Amino acid sequence: MFLPDRFVKGTCPRSKTEDQYGDACENCGATYTPNELIDPLSVLSGSTPIWRESEHYFFKLSEFDNRLRAWIKTAELHQNITSKLEEWFEAGLQDWDISRDAPYFGFRIPGTKDKYFYVWLDAPVGYLASFLHFCNLHEGINFDEYWTPDSDTEAYHFIGKDIVYFHTLFWPAVLEGSGLRTPTSVFAHGFLTVNGKKMSKSRGTFIKARTYADNLDPNCLRYYYAAKLGPSMEDIDLNFDDFVARVNADLVGKLVNIASRCAGFISKRFDGRLADSLDDSALFARFTDASGDIARHFEHREYSKAIRRIMALADDANRYIDEKKPWIMVKNDGQVEDVQLVCTQGLNMFRSLMIYLTPVIPSLAEKSRELFDESAWPWSAAESPLLATNIQKFKPLLTRIEQAQVEKMIEQSKEPDAPEKAPDDNDTISIDDFIKVDLRVARIEKAEPVEGADKLLQLTLDLGDEKRTVFAGIKAAYDPAALEGRLAVAVANLQPRKMRFGTSEGMVLASGPGGEDIFLLSVDDGAKPGMRVK
RNA sequence: GGUGAUGUAGCUCAGUUGGUCAGAGCGGCGGACUCAUAACCCGCAGGUCGGUGGUUCAAAUCCACCCAUCACCA
């Protein structure tokens, strides 16, 4: 295996300091190459590296110097990135070694036996491949319209700061060289830490999206990120105490509260009818005037600035309601009409803010839109108030996050750290992983079509000591009558899943691409329902 | 080792071109209110703006060096 400089340690050839990396000595500052080290050792295995000759393929990056410099200007890359790139241009672009000797993963280079493409040559090609796949699945989207050099569509890459290099030098050069268009720009962001530290499986801070979504509302996380994220490459921290406080204070306490404290009056006193004018149109104008600023912030990826602007307006709205005191006005016969005006004002301020926040908290915005009984919220809708129309009864849009929810999520995410050996890039699973799947022999007692479902059959399975109802998408391939009585293999410990037609309590194993080509797994004669498959 | 970035109140962060820039939100403390998911409103914050020098009439803001953290080094 080829060892990069920092994977070789040994004694410095100049100062004779032991345990130094293969590129420089920390003690005397000398720089050298790994082959100059005295007694070199592999950091990975501890053995002595040996010299081998190998033929390599190179990408002539040096040829792209001018074109890359030109592209970097048009892409208007963030200052963080350009200052980083300066370094490489100053040193002069070197040709890029794009081959690796076996054993390696990925794609073998055509015409060779044991040479493979370096991962960063083929990885970004996956962007094109997956987009082409998308085009094939969707009528009317033409790959060439997006990726030929004369394309007028915009293409952006959102990446992490660790791979700026590959996306701002190699990738544009590869695209140029292939006769394809280059990205409009590349946006790089920092890393996410959790509670100030790198994510850790053992601490329970390596949280999967699924685990998060099982415990908490995605809108909350989206809001929290937006509130902290800017266009730079700085890392951002997901601090759970801060997260809970911020979401509860901003989203629930301030924002949703505006609607909550106004909608009740409108429903109870005015049959859900909004007034036909605003109480304070100058105040509302402050909300509409913010539209341009907020849109600009979003476009420039200044999410945290957009959020700050929006929440400052939310404070204004709450302050307004507090000054007007509709709960006192409502007790004075002469002021009851004004309550409708004040609450209409409050609800419209809330409405504008929610329209602005739609890109950040889409499903919360959608629930809010339903309150106003509107069918769509284009950005421009925030500019004119909604008047003289009925609103729906207010339902809580978002509830406070409890610390316990977060703790539960962390608990569910805890697992021992992966062994520190090889990166486990391969797709193998351990025997323990396999054992988790409880496979059982099942007898199909009953099979019947499901009304309203084209593909499903409802199966009643006999698992020995219990009966299960399972919905299987095999209708096109099997006649229900022919299934009854036969043996199959079922997953017995699959989480029950609610479907439109009922709850499916397991899964029957089958093979094939789908449609009419589905083949149920069979069990040889003699097996009894309920037997474990292993 | 080289390069880039970051380091501002207990916490999370704003601070454009040097001079009301020493701030906001949360937490904390005090008060007011009760419409609202104990939410909202008002008041209170003694942080040498990582450290040390330097430039300047004036620096968190410019320069040098140092320390710490993150990333990259084809």
Q: What is the DSSP string of A413-468?
A: H--PPPPSSS---S----HHHHHTS-EEEEEEEEEEE-TT-SS-EEEEEE-SS-EE
Alpha carbons A276 and A262: distance in angstroms, whole number: 16
**pTM (two decimals):** 0.74
Does residue A162 approach strand B to less than 7 Å at its CB?
A: yes
The radius of gyration of chain A from alpha carbons, rounded to an integer in Å, stands at: 31
Least confident of A17-31, A343-357, A436-450, A452-466: A17-31
Question: What is the pLDDT at residue A422?
Answer: 34
Rounded, the Å distance between the CA of A339 and C1' of B9 is 41
Confidence category of residue A512, pLDDT binned at 50, 70, 90:
low
Res. A418: pLDDT tops 50: no
**A390 three-class SS:** strand
* Cβ-contact A161, A189 below 8 angstroms: yes
Question: What is the pLDDT at residue A423?
Answer: 33
Least confident of A150-154, A289-293, A376-380, A498-502: A498-502
Confidence category of residue A320, pLDDT binned at 50, 70, 90:
very high
Alpha carbons A35 and A15: distance in angstroms, whole number: 16
Residues A31-52, mean pLDDT to the nearest whole number: 78
ipTM for the complex? 0.90
Residues A23-33, mean pLDDT to the nearest whole number: 65
Rounded, the Å distance between the CA of A53 and C1' of B57 is 68
DSSP A271-301: TTBPPSS-S-HHHHHHHHHHHHHHHHHHHTT
Report, in ranges, which bases of strand B sit under 7 Å from a protein C-beta. 1, 3-6, 11-15, 25-27, 33-37, 39-42, 70-74
Report which of A212, A172, A165 is spatially closest to residue A192, judged by C-alpha positions.
A212
Q: What's the token pair of residue A415?
A: 């697992």
Residues A38-48, mean pLDDT to the nearest whole number: 79
* Cβ-contact A459, A472 below 8 angstroms: yes
Long-range contacts of A492-498 (CB under 8 A, 24+ apart): A492/A438, A492/A439, A492/A440, A492/A463, A492/A468, A493/A436, A493/A437, A493/A438
Least confident of A49-53, A215-219, A402-406: A49-53
Residues A20-49, mean pLDDT to the nearest whole number: 73
* Cβ-contact A163, A124 below 8 angstroms: no
Highest averaged pLDDT of the listed ranges A22-36, A86-100, A361-375, A508-522: A361-375
Report which of A3, A291, A26, A2 is spatially closest to residue A11, judged by C-alpha positions.
A26
From the centroid of its chain, how far is CA A168? 22
Q: Percent of chain A at pLDDT above 90?
A: 41
Question: What is the pLDDT at residue A514?
Answer: 58
The mean pLDDT value of chain A amounts to 84
Least confident of A98-112, A121-135, A380-394: A98-112
Q: What's the token pair of residue A125?
A: 């090609």
Residues A224-240, mean pLDDT to the nearest whole number: 87
Q: Percent of chain A at pLDDT above 70?
A: 90
Rounded, the Å distance between the CA of A32 and C1' of B68 is 28
Tell me the per-residue pLDDT of A331-351, one tens digit each, with 9 for 90 and over.
Answer: 988 899 999 999 999 999 999
Report which of A217, A236, A239 is spatially closest to residue A226, judged by C-alpha positions.
A236
Res. A267: pLDDT tops 70: yes
Apex A295 CA angle, A291 and A296, nearest 5: 120
Chain A window 375-434, residues with Cβ within 7 A of nucleic strand B: 396-400
Chain A window 312-331, residues with Cβ within 7 A of nucleic strand B: 315, 318-319, 321-322, 325-328
Res. A421: pLDDT tops 70: no
Q: Specify the DSSP class assigned to residue A393.
A: P
Confidence category of residue A513, pLDDT binned at 50, 70, 90:
low
Report which of A14, A21, A9, A19 is spatially closest to residue A49, judged by C-alpha positions.
A9
Alpha carbons A227 and A195: distance in angstroms, whole number: 16
